[in-house]
Amino acid sequence: MNDGTGADQDMNMNAAAAAAIIAEADARARPVLRPDHRVTFLVWGAIWFLGDGLMWLAVRGQHPYHGPNPGGYAALVLLTVLVALASIAQSRAESGVRGLSVVRRWAFSLSALAGLGGAFLVEGALVHAGASRPVVGVFEAVAPLLVIGLLYLARFSAELDWAVAGLGLWLVLVAAVGAYAGPQNVWAVATLAVGPAFVLVAALEHRRQRA
């Protein structure tokens, strides 16, 4: 730990030393104070790919369709726990930071939770109203895409981030088109269309940061 002997010590440091301090301090602070969105999009891409892929494997070839088995749901719960743990690790890494970006992240997470919770309740209502298992199956595949897609579009309206707008629009489109593929193939459509879209946005973010 630097225990300087006076506030104005080393006033005569040279330009090269100052440049080195700037580079070192920036490299140390930036990863802690500014979470890398490229990593976030890549992680989410992997999560969507795995989640949708597992559900697809769980339901494909079912005749008649009866929905994912308990193993499929257990895998989804495991993924959700991993996401929660990753979020906690990220917020701990940034401990000490407070302000607008933290509020925004919490608002986004809580909105997603509210939206997904609402979709879950609607699914219960559909079952209660006598909807067939295939109809419920289509709904449970596309509802998360619609919720998260609309959240990204809402984020676009606040931040005018065009990559996020494209992602939100894409998720809504995949939900709408995928719904026509039926309760089994909708998972295949989501597996192939959603995860890679997140990876593409990570690549765009990478290009933007390097520009």
The residues binding other proteins (CB under 8 A) are 1-4, 7-11, 13, 15-19, 21-22, 25-26, 28-30, 32-34, 95-102
Measured from the CB atom, is 35 or 134 closer to other proteins? 35
Tell me phi and psi for residue 92, to 5 degrees. Answer: -70, -40
Quick one: 14 or 125, whose CB is closer to other proteins? 14
Least CB distance to other proteins at residue 201 (A): 19
Smallest gap, in angstroms, from Cβ of residue 184 to other proteins? Answer: 43
Is residue 147 within 8 Å of 116, Cβ to Cβ? yes
Rounded to 10°, the helix 182-210/37-59 angle is 170
181 Cβ contact partners less than 8 Å away, ≥ 6 residues apart: 188, 189
Nearest distance, CB of residue 159 and other proteins, angstroms: 12
Decide: residue 18, CB within 10 A, 0-12 exposed, 13-18 middle, 19+ buried.
Answer: exposed
By C-beta, is 29 or 78 nearer to other proteins? 29
Tokens standing for residue 159: 């931040």
Please classify residue 53 by burial: count the beta carbons closer than 10 Å to its beta carbon, then call 0-12 exposed, 13-18 middle and 19+ buried. Answer: middle
Residue with Cβ nearer other proteins (64 or 99): 99
Query: Whole-number minimum distance, CB 23 to other proteins, in Å?
Result: 9
- Amino acid (1-letter code) at residue 81: V
Cα separation values, 158 from 16, 71, 77, 152, 177, Å = 41, 39, 31, 10, 27
Instruction: Tell me the closest approach of the beta carbon of residue 115 to other proteins, in angstroms.
Output: 25
Q: How many CB atoms lie within 10 A of CB 172?
A: 18
In whole angstroms, the minimum distance from the beta carbon of 133 to other proteins comes to 46
| 16/211 with CB nearer other proteins | 16
Is 26 or 87 the residue whose CB approaches other proteins more closely? 26
